[in-house]
Structure 1
Amino acid sequence: MTEILEKAKLWLTDIFDTHTQEQVKQLITSNPKELEDSFYKNLAFGTGGMRGIMGVGTNRINKYTLGKNTQGIALYLKEKFPDEELKIAIAYDCRNNSKELAYTVANVFSANNINVYIFEDLRPTPELSFAVKKYNCQCGIVLTASHNPPEYNGYKVYWKDGGQLVPPQDGEIIEKINSLTYAQIKFEAKPSYIQKIGIETDSAFVTESVKNASFNTNKATKENLSIVFTALHGTSITLLPKVLEKAGYTQLHIVEEQATPNGNFPTVKSPNPEEPAALEMAIDLANKKNADIVIGTDPDSDRLGIAVRNKEGEIVLLNGNQTMILMTDFLLKNYQEKQGFKGNEFIASTIVSTPMMPKLAEYYGIECKLGLTGFKWIAKMIKDFPNQHFIGGGEESFGFMVGDFVRDKDAITASLLACEIAAQAKAEGKTLLDKLNQLYLKHGLYQEHLISLVKKGISGAQEIKNIMHKLRENPPLDFNGIKTTLIEDYQTSQRKDLTNNTNSALSIPSSNVLIFYLEDGTKIAARPSGTEPKIKFYISVNTTVNTTEQLAIKQNELTKKIQAISAFFNAY
């Protein structure tokens, strides 16, 4: 506690503004637990950039932690691009303080004589990725905490290809940031270096979205699809209605109570389309309007949740893996019919997503590249393999990317793609669930489940560390009697085959992930979240299915298998 107190006292110097000093004094005198959590570490970059609770301290999102990051990036850019005119694109979402923090970031860059293109108002994260490339920027920043609770904010950093930071840039930038003191931050803006962008960029982004996600669906078919859309108080309201209108969809019903951007997210417990409760109001409206499809996006509009009608007319939520499979197969089928595969195409996903993605790639005779969690790794694949053509890809956490004009998950373009699939299915007298079941009959029935255990604060971080240590030191040799045959440890980059007791190397970059493969084809992954105080367990089971009549029986069998495995991890 002495070390934490010394760190806090540094924030009582005149480097920091009076309001910040007063808040720190209050923590020191009356809230030791909050003081400890605010200063026990420096906020670090994770899977999706830097996210944290807003407040004072080194472990909080505030003008000083983000200012120091920005100053470090500014110096790094000057070293990396000494002979280039430096340009940065900046966007921000609906969260409390996002705009103010975005302008703090802009001011620091401008104070370092770096040109800034900042959006005139809140915009979706994928449009920031697009803007980085459109304006030939070396870097981009978006102020967002994605789907985290209202008390959070965050800071995503993009590189010149439009993808988020990956090695070696991330490590080099962190090293530069850590070498600075708060006194070295240049906060005094140079207005001549700051330029607002908006309508022109919007128009270009909308055009590209429609171009990339339209597939010869005729006018009448589009107009026959009834869509309910909720922005969950986020940024998609600025662009998604325009994209759907330009694409020709006329039956769009917006959940008005959730259409106004609001960082407090007053109508939902969590603004996360992964959670069924977030789409309750949209489903209610869909039932009133007899809509065919429900679409909900998270606050910064990179994730989307989809719900569709089943045979009984009830609205059913799709999970991220199911959405990804439907979208990927649709893209591959259309690509095959339109131009045929040349042998250099690929799709992409992550090591914790459904194994059905490689199955699809195998069926179409193309490659499926797998990477760590986070779309920055998919963007890196596109950059690292310029002679290969990326068609599309996603991950289980409700993200998808159509083509490579945006180098991050993109709920705007993916929402249009979902409508194209749904409209064409309806014209055939089918639902998206029918389409999904057809894929299960063709490739095997896959079923996934995610367990997220929240472990907050210092004790929670230690608890997560202990769980991962236990799984490494004493790995389960079976789950409910089903033998473990293979263990992949991405932290040590080792694959251990338990059937013959041999080891081999993993080629994917090091990360704190464990994957267990069982003799019946089950796959179980464990990893601490890179953006939230959680440890996550991903369960994937599969079986063969020969007829439509068998589907319900087989799905019930897989559900029971998942429940049995879940009991093992819920004990933590």
Structure 2
Amino acid sequence: MSVQSTLDKAKLWLGEAFDEETRTAVQTLIDSNSPDLEDSFYRELEFGTGGMRGVMGVGTNRLNKYTLGQATQGLANYLHQSFPHEEIKVAIAYDVRHNSKEFGKIVADVLTANGIKVLLFKEHRPTPELSFTVRNKQCNAGIVLTASHNPPEYNGYKVYWNDGAQIVPPNDENIIREVYATKFEDIKFNGNDDLIEWVGEDQDDVYIDACMENSLYQNVGRDNLNIVFTSIHGTTYTTVPKALAKAGFKKVDLVHEQMIPSGNFPTVDSPNPEEPAALSMATDLAEITNADIVIGTDPDGDRLGIAVRNLEGKMQLLNGNQTNTILTYYILDRWKKAGKITGKEFIGSTIVTSDIFFDIAEKFGVDCKVGLTGFKWIGKMIRDFEGQEKFICGGEESFGFMTGDFVRDKDSCGSILTACEIAAWCKANGTTVYQYLIDIYKEVGFYYEGLINVVRKGRTGAEEINQMMSDFRNNPPKEIAGSPVAELKDFKEQTMLDVATGEKSVMDDIPKSNVLIFYTQDGTKVCVRPSGTEPKIKFYVSVKDSIHSQEEFVAKLPKLQEKINLVKQDLNL
């Protein structure tokens, strides 16, 4: 877009549809010839298939009162179309980020101005509690204001449907259509507080009870497990400590500096439990308290990071696939021992997640269904097969997991309860969670994963990412880490290419998405996709081998780690 057209777009925000504070901020950008002007207005902030996320500020490419209002007005219009002649209810929650509470009230006002009843949380609460509340309170939809683990300048807006899961086709496309058909002057901001029902702490207890019912299997050694927990300044300070105490875990040490909610996330560079640095204060405390397990959650409380003592007795952060492997294997083992597996059960996974879950599912006689990245697709699986097959648990590599279908999104609280039960059970039996993971690898295969993030910010960064995807699609590698590429899956084209035969087949069981997966002859898997929420392109690498002993694990781990490095070199990352 030219500078002139960007300027014209900005000048529209000086009109009467916008409040004085917004007009002043836009005029300042124009008068100062600020470089932020183009990035603020060169495009519309995308309302994607789950909502939107972006930097806060004025402009069409920023998250603010007007872009949120446009999204909510479009949603309100679609809700009236979808649920005619009935009272419509929408639950709204928000996390600890700057402006989240204010944004929550703005969104509530737009809905009530459209005659829609709102169940609005009084204070910030975790995203999974919102998902639970949509179902528990029989709402037509839900909204959460969050930017997950993005930097402090970000916020976001996610939409849930009446099953408690994030919106999927056809509702997502229909809502998007209504959002983009809404002009800023069409937004109804004058809310009706009589249509707001405030949600308080009582709902926490209902949610926690459901987490316990769906996530706990045996009470072994809970009072002897040493736990360190941190909410990393996020929302789970309201739920997780209470849930652990209620479940009988008595030795819980909190990282008190990080239990203070703050949108600045002052003690970490990034509030992302995928990164060891985010849990460094917790692991430091674990050395003092001799903890068995360390747990941290992201700002909106849906992701969890877990560190356990490795074979040398040092705290080690598990990756998302490892955590989910432990949780899935244990839960299926409990189900099998209880005689609950009939052959009509399934677990959920995603295309970028480790293939170990196919092997685990096969071992226990259940199906493993796979969808696109994001828990909304696991939620869709549950809805699609409701009454036919029973969902047991599911997860994806990005540190998300769900136990049961009472929540239709990744849920750290229920997952933490299961993880702590496993740790307590292992300790009571004279072993550790890490050794339990090795035992699982001995049963189903030793998988090891690596994630490479290539960050490219701004408009030029987005163009670079598009070019990288185009290059990989049009000139795919012939060999990766010394093994010929055997299979190429292109989810944008919905095709699978057998490299040896040249035969191309159709994959239309999964919706189109800009994702490529390469499989080599020795089982190495490389998945490439642009992030849907951050300015980066992601490379998910999985390598595998077989082991029969702990000694073999120790010997083969460095070889698999080196293989991940070879993949990076071959792909010039």
Contact 2:50 2:167 (C-alpha < 8 Å) held by counterparts: no
The separation in 2 between residues aligned to 1:341 and 1:280, in whole angstroms, is: 40
What SS is found at the alignment partner of 1:559?
Answer: helix
The separation in 2 between residues aligned to 1:41 and 1:67, in whole angstroms, is: 17
Contact 2:326 2:436 (C-alpha < 8 Å) held by counterparts: yes
Which AA in structure 2 matches 1:224? N
- Displacement after TM superposition at 1:556 (Å): 1.1
The separation in 1 between residues aligned to 2:360 and 2:347, in whole angstroms, is: 9
The separation in 2 between residues aligned to 1:534 and 1:568, in whole angstroms, is: 19
Alignment of 1:44-193 (within 5 A): 44-46=46-48, 49-193=51-195
Contact 1:47 1:373 (C-alpha < 8 Å) held by counterparts: no
Contact 1:48 1:530 (C-alpha < 8 Å) held by counterparts: no
User: What residue number does 1:248 align with?
Assistant: 248
The separation in 2 between residues aligned to 1:310 and 1:472, in whole angstroms, is: 39
- Displacement after TM superposition at 1:37 (Å): 0.8
Residues 308-359 of structure 1 show CA distances to partners (whole Å, capped at 9, x for unaligned) of 1123321111000000000000110000111231111000111001110011
The separation in 2 between residues aligned to 1:376 and 1:20, in whole angstroms, is: 34
Alignment of 1:534-545 (within 5 A): 534-545=536-547
Mapped pair 1:309 → 2:309:
yes
Mapped pair 1:453 → 2:454:
yes
Residues 2-25 of structure 1 show CA distances to partners (whole Å, capped at 9, x for unaligned) of 221111111000111111111111
Which AA in structure 2 matches 1:310? N
The match for 1:532 among 534, 537, 541 is 534
- Displacement after TM superposition at 1:199 (Å): 2.2
The separation in 2 between residues aligned to 1:48 and 1:185, in whole angstroms, is: 21
Residues 239-276 of structure 1 show CA distances to partners (whole Å, capped at 9, x for unaligned) of 10111111001111000000010000000000000001
The separation in 2 between residues aligned to 1:183 and 1:47, in whole angstroms, is: 24
Which AA in structure 2 matches 1:421? I
Contact 2:309 2:315 (C-alpha < 8 Å) held by counterparts: yes
Contact 1:274 1:397 (C-alpha < 8 Å) held by counterparts: yes
Alignment of 1:484-495 (within 5 A): 484-495=485-496
Residues 13-62 of structure 1 show CA distances to partners (whole Å, capped at 9, x for unaligned) of 01111111111112122244211111111111347531100000111110
The separation in 1 between residues aligned to 2:289 and 2:445, in whole angstroms, is: 35
The separation in 2 between residues aligned to 1:48 and 1:13, in whole angstroms, is: 30
- Displacement after TM superposition at 1:215 (Å): 1.2
Residues 171-205 of structure 1 show CA distances to partners (whole Å, capped at 9, x for unaligned) of 11111111111000000011110110112211110
Contact 1:228 1:286 (C-alpha < 8 Å) held by counterparts: yes
The separation in 2 between residues aligned to 1:345 and 1:228, in whole angstroms, is: 34
The separation in 2 between residues aligned to 1:49 and 1:494, in whole angstroms, is: 28
Which AA in structure 1 matches 2:129? E
User: What residue number does 1:34 align with?
Assistant: 36
The separation in 2 between residues aligned to 1:526 and 1:28, in whole angstroms, is: 39
Residues 413-450 of structure 1 show CA distances to partners (whole Å, capped at 9, x for unaligned) of 11111100100000011111100000111111100000
User: What residue number does 1:435 align with?
Assistant: 436
The separation in 2 between residues aligned to 1:540 and 1:546, in whole angstroms, is: 20
Residues 266-316 of structure 1 show CA distances to partners (whole Å, capped at 9, x for unaligned) of 000000000010000000111000111000000000000000112332111
User: What residue number does 2:390 align with?
Assistant: 389
- Displacement after TM superposition at 1:480 (Å): 3.7
Q: CA 1:118 to 1:260, structure 2 compared with 1: closer, same or farther past 3 Å?
A: same
User: What residue number does 2:374 align with?
Assistant: 374
What SS is found at the alignment partner of 1:469?
Answer: helix
Q: TM-score, normalization: structure 1?
A: 0.98
The separation in 2 between residues aligned to 1:287 and 1:80, in whole angstroms, is: 55
Contact 2:273 2:298 (C-alpha < 8 Å) held by counterparts: yes
Alignment of 1:337-376 (within 5 A): 337-376=337-376
What SS is found at the alignment partner of 1:183?
Answer: helix
The separation in 2 between residues aligned to 1:182 and 1:33, in whole angstroms, is: 25
The separation in 2 between residues aligned to 1:201 and 1:31, in whole angstroms, is: 49
Contact 2:228 2:253 (C-alpha < 8 Å) held by counterparts: yes
What SS is found at the alignment partner of 1:486?
Answer: strand
Alignment of 1:382-531 (within 5 A): 382-386=382-386, 387-506=388-507, 507-531=509-533
User: What residue number does 2:297 align with?
Assistant: 297
Contact 1:46 1:531 (C-alpha < 8 Å) held by counterparts: no
The separation in 1 between residues aligned to 2:537 and 2:401, in whole angstroms, is: 23
Residues 443-463 of structure 1 show CA distances to partners (whole Å, capped at 9, x for unaligned) of 111000000111100000000
Contact 1:146 1:299 (C-alpha < 8 Å) held by counterparts: yes
Residues 108-129 of structure 1 show CA distances to partners (whole Å, capped at 9, x for unaligned) of 0000010000001110100000
- Worse-superposed segment, 471-480 or 417-426: 471-480
What SS is found at the alignment partner of 2:513?
Answer: coil
Contact 1:401 1:410 (C-alpha < 8 Å) held by counterparts: yes
The separation in 2 between residues aligned to 1:351 and 1:59, in whole angstroms, is: 30
The separation in 2 between residues aligned to 1:479 and 1:568, in whole angstroms, is: 6
- Displacement after TM superposition at 1:564 (Å): 0.7
Contact 1:47 1:530 (C-alpha < 8 Å) held by counterparts: no
Runs of 4+ in 1 over 4 A off after TM superposition: none
The separation in 2 between residues aligned to 1:255 and 1:457, in whole angstroms, is: 35
The separation in 2 between residues aligned to 1:82 and 1:310, in whole angstroms, is: 57
Contact 1:47 1:531 (C-alpha < 8 Å) held by counterparts: no
**Which residues of structure 1 form unaligned runs of 5+?**
none
- Worse-superposed segment, 47-56 or 157-166: 47-56
Which AA in structure 2 matches 1:405? F
The separation in 1 between residues aligned to 2:22 and 2:389, in whole angstroms, is: 51
Q: TM-score, normalization: structure 2?
A: 0.98
Which AA in structure 1 matches 2:472? L
The separation in 2 between residues aligned to 1:356 and 1:258, in whole angstroms, is: 34
Which AA in structure 1 matches 2:309? R
The separation in 1 between residues aligned to 2:347 and 2:418, in whole angstroms, is: 16
Alignment of 1:223-262 (within 5 A): 223-262=223-262
Contact 2:48 2:176 (C-alpha < 8 Å) held by counterparts: no
Mapped pair 1:269 → 2:284:
no
Which AA in structure 1 matches 2:489? E
User: For the aligned residues, what is the CA RMSD?
Assistant: 1.0
Which AA in structure 2 matches 1:397? S
What SS is found at the alignment partner of 2:163?
Answer: coil
Q: How many residues are matched?
A: 569
**Which residues of structure 2 form unaligned runs of 5+?**
none
Alignment of 1:3-42 (within 5 A): 3-42=5-44
The separation in 1 between residues aligned to 2:357 and 2:525, in whole angstroms, is: 14
Contact 2:49 2:176 (C-alpha < 8 Å) held by counterparts: no
